[in-house]
């Protein structure tokens, strides 16, 4: 797939992110309105979209252990590498853990599902849904536990419990689970309710992308110190380039060892790994007392660079 053709597909998605960024920077969108946009996407539009994709995906694809295992191994390795590279006297466990999370957690929810569906087709979304579950349940919980090691063992245990409680409060896993049950039982919603869910699902992509830009602009407006390019850019590049490379190498190795991992599935995993960092990591960092400005800058840099790097990775793994 030629780079120019890929950019034509991805341009509208990144243009919506840019529109949200500009609207917030110019004051057209009040900062006080951003939590409302986030709430609409998180509690209404995105769950509706995930339910529809899950319900239309074969249950075997949603329970693919090879996909979950490949993604988890790559994520754990990237977390370990990032922690080893950044943990120092200047950066404690809390900041190092969130630096690792922002490096290993792509924006699959707000950006990845619609973008990968547009590039690879709706059949690839089942793979992305598995990725979302692994990152929400395992990767996030692990990094939250690591972030509390400065507080001792009890702090890590409390953080792990808090992370699991957060998963239960998050509507996305519930929407995925409901969709999986609908797929397994061949259940169809009543026509009026199905139309309502469809309308919400159709709103998810544009509003989510616009909201990403607004959140990035807000983080920059509220930053209390300038970007540390030497510290922040390497982590952004690790997210955009090292993460997909790890997924590709591990997936290819597991496939050689007999794991039932097809080429289209591995392509979807690599493309998901090439997405920029998830914007909600900055909210978690702020809640846990980490350097939220640092995390927000990494997210901003990775999103800006991803317009080029994401298309390049897609062209690399889909040469035909």
Q: What is the pLDDT of residues 136-158, one digit of tens each?
A: 889 988 888 888 777 655 566 67
| pLDDT tens-place string over residues 231-258 | 789 999 999 999 999 999 999 999 999 9
**How far is Cα 146 from Cα 141, in angstroms, rounded to an integer?**
9
pLDDT of residue 223: 67
| Res. 1 pLDDT band, cuts 50 70 90 | low
| pLDDT tens-place string over residues 183-212 | 999 999 999 999 999 999 999 989 999 999
**How far is Cα 194 from Cα 62, in angstroms, rounded to an integer?**
21
DSSP state of 288: T
Task: Estimate to the nearest angstrom the gap between the alpha carbon of 244 and the chain centroid.
Answer: 13
Burial class of residue 214 (count of CB atoms within 10 Å of its CB; 0-12, 13-18, 19+): buried
pLDDT of residue 155: 63
What is the total count of domains within the chain? 1
Closest CA to 301 of 247, 245, 246, 226: 226
Instruction: Enter the pTM of the model.
Output: 0.90
Domain harbouring 254, CATH code: 1.20.1530.20
| pLDDT tens-place string over residues 83-120 | 999 887 678 888 999 999 999 999 998 899 999 999 99
Residue-number span of the structural domain to which 147 is assigned: 3-317
> Are the CB atoms for 77 and 242 separated by under 8 Å?
no
């Amino acid at each position: 797939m030629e780079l120019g053709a890929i950019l034509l597909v991805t341009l509208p998605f990144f243009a919506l992110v840019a529109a949200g960024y500009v609207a917030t920077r110019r004051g057209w969108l009040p900062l006080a309105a951003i939590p409302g946009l986030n709430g609409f996407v998180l509690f209404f539009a995105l769950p509706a979209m995930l339910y529809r994709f899950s319900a239309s995906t074969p249950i075997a694809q949603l329970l693919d252990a090879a996909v979950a295992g490949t993604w988890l191994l790559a994520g754990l390795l990237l977390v370990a590498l990032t922690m080893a590279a950044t943990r120092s006297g200047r950066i404690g466990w809390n900041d190092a853990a969130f630096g690792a999370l922002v490096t290993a957690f792509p924006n699959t929810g707000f950006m990845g599902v619609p973008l990968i569906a547009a590039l690879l087709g709706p059949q690839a979304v089942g793979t992305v849904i598995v990725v979302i579950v692994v990152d929400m349940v395992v990767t996030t919980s692990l990094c939250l536990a690591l972030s509390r090691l400065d507080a001792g063992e009890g702090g890590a245990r409390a953080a792990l419990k808090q992370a699991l409680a957060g998963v239960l409060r998050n509507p996305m896993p519930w929407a995925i689970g409901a969709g999986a049950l609908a797929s397994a039982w061949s259940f169809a919603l009543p026509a009026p309710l199905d139309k309502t869910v469809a309308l919400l699902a159709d709103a998810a992509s544009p509003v989510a992308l616009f909201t990403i830009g607004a959140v990035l602009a807000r983080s920059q407006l509220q930053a209390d110190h300038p970007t540390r390019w030497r510290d922040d850019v390497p982590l952004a590049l690790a997210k955009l380039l090292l993460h997909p490379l790890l997924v590709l190498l591990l997936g290819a190795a597991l496939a050689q060892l007999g794991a039932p991992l097809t080429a289209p599935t591995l392509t979807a995993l690599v493309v998901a790994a090439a997405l920029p960092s998830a914007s909600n990591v900055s909210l978690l960092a702020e809640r846990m007392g980490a350097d939220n400005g640092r995390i927000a800058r990494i997210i901003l840099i990775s999103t800006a660079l991803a317009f080029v790097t994401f298309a390049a990775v897609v062209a690399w793994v889909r040469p035909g």
